[in-house]
Amino acid sequence: MDFTLSEEQLMIQQAAKDFAQTELLPGVIERDETQKFPEELRKKMGELGFLGMMVNEKYGGSGLDTLSYVLAMEELSKVDASASVMVSVNNSLVCWGLETFGTESQKEKYLTRLSTGEVIGAFCLSEPEAGSDATSQKTTAIDNGDHYTLNGTKNWITNGSSAEVFLVIAQTHVEKGHKGINALIVEKGMEGFEIGPKENKLGIRGSDTHSLIFNDVKVPKENRIGEDGFGFKFAMKTLAGGRIGIAAQALGIAAGAYELALKYSKVRKSFGTEIANHQAIAFKLADMHTKIQAARNLVYQAACDKDTGKDYSLSGAMAKLYASEVAMETAVEAVQIHGGNGYVKEYHVERLMRDAKITQIYEGTSEIQKIVISRSIIKD
């Protein structure tokens, strides 16, 4: 596969790099400590088009391909994975899900506001008893004629308190199992919809993660996405693309940690020479560089599969599995290369190490990616 980037793709990559350096880097340590992400910064990401990258221009998006999106995700994630998870959820779960499966009136009502960053969205599948085992939904959406009555709890929802639009997966026909699940558009402020306290996390601390509680929330029927019972398929199809975004996030974290480690190893001296001259350090850098390039190839391949209309659930799962393992490994080694400095916040690598871990957990753990991959190759 030829991954020569077009002029436009190079421009987007550079724009994301510039934004990450000038706007994200200055406050990244503070956001990690305070667990707050300023609304103005999110609005700036919207104004620059990062929140609706693949959405058709007709709905306020940038109309770009998936490869451009992963290039931007990689650059943003090198500096701030809390910002990039917001970008990933809004682009590949919320906007893509709505644009691909929503009705025209749903798109008019929600998509333009989401793709321009006027508001952001959340994707709500996980529950206390339904994480990896996503078909075990306990949240119910009972059909009451012109509306659904929503009851239950969602866990770990990214953008939980900052989002205005929530795509909520819930069980309508229990007897039909996963074929009786629906996806509903829920708005912040609907009566009976409560947002739980913010989770105090290991990493991506600038991203707001909350549980959501639904007590008899009336959701109009016109807010259902797709046919009755399409909700689980909706979630799976949407997540297949979402995983490419998280794979790109993992790639960015790995590349960011590697770049810092390489730079540091060329200035830090021990035993009369730069530490990069010690083979133990040089070989770590060689391993990092090689694995990052391999991860990048998998991520680009998955993006190109999506752009060329090929099936991308296998390539997306492989990209996420591998890139997230590389992110974790690379970030740990980057801390090691920094020695004691690696353990303090100012050098950024300890944060990248904490942020890397989540990429092995959300949008399907590494074990779940292996289930998706193995089922696909065995079936074929």
Binding mask 86-125 for ligand FAD (x = CB under 6 A): ---x--------------------------------xxxx
178 contacts: CB under 8 Å, gap ≥ 6: 135, 232
Q: Tell me which of ligand CAA, ligand FAD, none is bound by residue 172, counting a contact when its beta carbon lies within the kind-specific cut-off of 5 to 8 angstroms.
A: none
188 contacts: CB under 8 Å, gap ≥ 6: 163, 164, 165, 166, 195
Binding site for ligand CAA (CB under 6 A): 85, 89, 123, 125-126, 132, 134-135, 158, 178, 232-233, 236-237, 239-240, 313, 362-364, 368, 371-372
> Is the separation of the CB atoms in 371 and 313 below 8 Å?
no
Complete DSSP assignment for 224-278: B-SSTT-HHHHHHHHHHHHHHHHHHHHHHHHHHHHHHHHHHHTT-EETTEEGGGS
Rg (CA), the chain: 21
Q: Is 363 a catalytic residue?
A: yes
Q: How far is the CB of 339 from ligand CAA (least distance, A)?
A: 33
232 binds ligand FAD (CB under 6 A): no
Among 157, 244, 247, 253, binds ligand FAD (CB under 6 A): 157
Q: Which range binds ligand FAD by CB under 6 A, 95-103, 253-261, 320-328, 363-371?
A: 363-371
Angle at which helices 231-265 and 81-88 pack, to 10 degrees? 150
154: which strand partners? 212
Q: How many residues bind ligand FAD (CB under 6 A)?
A: 23
Catalytic residue among 7, 99, 363, 367: 363
Interface with ligand FAD in residues 119-148 (CB under 6 A): 122-126, 131-133
Residues in the chain: 380
Q: How far is the CB of 203 from ligand CAA (least distance, A)?
A: 12
Q: How far is the CB of 246 from ligand FAD (least distance, A)?
A: 10
CA distances from 201 to 59, 198, 204, 242, 303 (A): 34, 9, 7, 22, 30
Residue number, 199 or 329, with CB nearest to ligand CAA? 199
CA distance 238 to 158: 16
209 binds ligand FAD (CB under 6 A): yes
> Is the separation of the CB atoms in 281 and 275 below 8 Å?
yes
Q: How far is the CB of 6 from ligand CAA (least distance, A)?
A: 28
Complete DSSP assignment for 89-117: IIIIIIIHHHHHHS-HHHIIIIIHHHHTT
Residue number, 89 or 319, with CB nearest to ligand CAA? 89
Structure tokens at 358: 């989540």
327 binds ligand FAD (CB under 6 A): no
21 binds ligand FAD (CB under 6 A): no
Active site members: 363
Binding residues (CB under 6 A) for ligand FAD: these are 89, 122-126, 131-133, 156-158, 201, 204, 209, 358, 361-365, 367-368
